[in-house]
A and B are shown apart, each in its own frame.
Chain A
Amino acid sequence: MSERTLTFAQAILEATDQCLAADPSVILIGEGVPDPKGIFGTTSGLRDKYGPSRVSDMPVSENGLTGILVGAALRGLRPILTHQRVDFSILSFDQLFNNASKWHAMFGGRASVPLTVRMIIGQGWGQGAQHAQNLHAVFSHVPGLKVVMPATPADAKGLLISAVRDPNPVVFIEHRWLHGVSGPVPEGGAAVPLGQARVARQGKDVTLVASSWMTLQAQRVAGWLETMGVQAEVVDLRTLSPLDAETVLGSVRKTGRVLVMDLGWRHCGYAAEVLARIAETLHGQLRAAPARLTLPDEPAPSSPALARAYYPSARRMLGEALAAAQHPHARDESSWPEPVRAELARLEALPADVPDLSFKGPF
């Protein structure tokens, strides 16, 4: 099937368009879905194409609408609900956790809730404590929810198609800084199955486990590691729940070393689960202590000065990866290759609170 280059946002738009075209029971609803900005371009034009009864805005009523869509899903629709920030979905945890996730199990499998909830996460531009949270570990903790976090445009499209077709509630998490990233995307309805991780780069010395925007960071770090004689394998989880433990364990079995790079908080975070799986299964085969890179256990600060310290820098990512790989110069930056040091210095001279310099705020 032929491929073109699309942005991550365009890939989501295309997947949604194809789902709406393929199945008349699919509907799309969310705050701002038909507005001039179209959820960062991911819903633009769909209202005109499919009409206001299938593509619509909603009141600022996250919990109510989630429950309403649970009911609609039980009665034959396949709704896609969007939240412009994951933080707004918190108001809907009652319906999502108590009803959507459990309906199938608590009624003995007699009914199911095919609901897709898109949630946008992000960081930067001073958004602060209530607009920059990472809650994938929370969703993953709840049995009955599937949780997806794509890193590439192709996976964004393919996983969204699978999410919509899936008979269960699926939380589909998009990092705002990925929306503008481009990559090849197959044209047809190429679904990417839920529950399958992807080896984004092969290597034998250390495994970097990541998802979403962190996968791009892991790949960049792996490039630097290569110049330092370390071959890193990057496992892009893609689906966090259910976790494709086999792919993770397969990689770590080979490398014996692992750094889990996660967007979330540390305490009871997603990285803790990945490390627990590894420890349970591979404790005797590890060549180094398994490690994780996370956010500190603090709410996101607004000030750019505080945010720069809050989010792991590229320098820190590289240092942690080297340490996980037991590289002798992990803690000795002066021994890192000159081009790597120059690149790190270049990155540090840029603002840390924007995805690129074209970004002018406010969001």
Chain B
Amino acid sequence: MSALGPSAQARPTAALLRRLLIDVERIRRVEERIAELYAEQEMRCPVHLCIGQEAASAGVSAALEVHDTAVSGHRAHGHYLAKGGDLNAMIAEIYGKATGCASGRGGSMHLIDLKCGFLGSTPIVGGTVPVGVGAAYAMRLRGERSISVVYLGDAAVEEGVFHESLNFAALKQLPVLFVCENNLYSVYTRLDDRQPARPLHRLAAAHGIPALVEDGNDAVAVYERAAELVDKVRGGAGPAFLELPTYRWREHCGPNYDQELGYRPDAEYADWKKLCPVERLRERCLREGVVDAAELKALQERLEAEIDEAFRRAKQAAYPEPGPSPVYAGNDPDE
């Protein structure tokens, strides 16, 4: 399966497991809090939660360095947070506040934090795939050792721009890692109703890009695969593609469960829920003594306190003053 050969990874260190655990716990808890408070109608923008898919963000980000960049789409909270995006600024953005990461202009679907290399997420499917390739193009031309990560869903590969981008990335051997979270659905439409029966990652292989599949609900496995690919990409081997099968637990857009709609078989849903990426990592960390029960509880409480604080600040923050939008650079009000 692997065009790159088997990984030469050592056993993950306790520090790494701990980092992954914190990230998946944190992302899960942030998303759960959004879901819990959404009914207050103070977060007045569409939200696409990644509950059930936290391992991808955590595992990939753990293999990156701060100067590496990432772009994403509509379901980006996890990608942003794991890359090091500011939690307070994200929550404030979802609340439409001036302190938001896009000053309230973007909402949940437009996250940015340049300090940690999160270049931006936008909700037009496939829209940031070429942007991430372009970042890699600049890295190459400027002789930098950074790499660019492009997060995409299984639907993005249906857009023409995906193929144009992969073609160019392969042609120029650019330092870009495509991370495709294949959660089997685009809104309510199954993968089988949109694509023929062929492994999705083979599309990348057809473009001459080494492509692997890894368990998208196992943060450690994701990390190990990502680290292997990141090494090669950073080393000048050209682009790589990682497909991560996973599953979204809640509705496509919004805070609720929607299993009652009937578009996803109950057995399929139940099987995937058993593979909870947070639960699996928690168990492993306890089993391997990375944390004990008391430490885990303390860690969770710390995260809850951090999240309490982010929501408290966001709720208290002022709304942006209406005024001219920063349409053109060079004469922005706050530049």
Binding site for B on A (CB under 8 A): 31-32, 35-37, 57-64, 87-88, 90-91, 125-131, 296-299, 301-306, 308-310, 351, 353, 360-363
Contact = CB atoms under 8 A, between A and B. Distances in A.
A128 B110 contact: yes
15 contacts: A36-B263, A60-B126, A91-B124, A125-B46, A127-B46, A128-B105, A128-B106, A130-B109, A297-B327, A301-B320, A302-B107, A310-B322, A353-B44, A361-B254, A362-B47
A59 B186 CA distance: 9
A309 B322 contact: yes
Interface stretch (B12-20, B151-159, B167-175, B203-211): B151-159
> Which of B109, B122, B321 is packed against the most chain A CB atoms within 10 Å?
B109
A59 B104 contact: no
Nearest to A32: B187
A31 B46 contact: no
Contacts of B272: none
B323 to A, nearest CB: 8
Given A59-B155, A60-B158, A87-B124, 10 more contacts: A31-B186, A59-B194, A60-B125, A63-B160, A129-B105, A304-B319, A305-B319, A306-B320, A361-B38, A363-B253
A308 B320 CA distance: 11
B9 interface: no
A126 B96 contact: yes
Nearest to B253: A362
B160 A61 contact: yes
Which 10 pairs, one residue from A and one from B, show the smallest C-beta to C-beta distance? A126-B45, A303-B96, A302-B107, A309-B322, A305-B319, A303-B104, A298-B325, A35-B188, A59-B158, A60-B155
A128 B109 contact: yes
A319 to B, nearest CB: 17
Given A125-B46, A126-B107, A303-B319, A131 B155 contact: no
Contacts of A130: 109-110, 122-124, 127
A309 B324 CA distance: 10
Given A31-B187, A303-B97, A61 B45 contact: no
A236 B104 CA distance: 35
Nearest to A58: B194
A57 B158 CA distance: 13
A298 to B, nearest CB: 4
Contacts of B263: 35-36
Given A128-B106, A362-B253, A298 B96 contact: no
A36 to B, nearest CB: 4
B41 interface: yes
Contact of B44 (A57, A63, A90, A126): A126
A59 B126 CA distance: 13
A35 B185 CA distance: 12
A26 B19 CA distance: 56
Binding site secondary structure of chain B? loop
B335 interface: no
A353 B104 CA distance: 14
Q: Is the interface of A mostly helix, strand, loop or mixed?
A: loop
A56 B109 CA distance: 28
A15 B108 CA distance: 36
A244 B113 CA distance: 49
B298 to A, nearest CB: 34
B116 to A, nearest CB: 22
B189 interface: yes
A296 B235 CA distance: 48
Nearest to B322: A309
A87 B45 CA distance: 17
A301 B325 contact: yes
Contacts of A308: 322
B189 A35 contact: yes
B261 interface: yes
B322 A306 contact: yes
A92 B155 CA distance: 16
Given A60-B158, A297-B327, A302 B106 contact: yes
B107 A298 contact: no
A360 B319 CA distance: 21
B320 to A, nearest CB: 6
A37 B41 contact: no
A127 B189 contact: no
Contact of A306 (B104, B155, B158, B327): B104
B98 to A, nearest CB: 8
Nearest to B321: A305
B197 to A, nearest CB: 14
Given A32-B187, A362-B46, A302 B158 contact: no
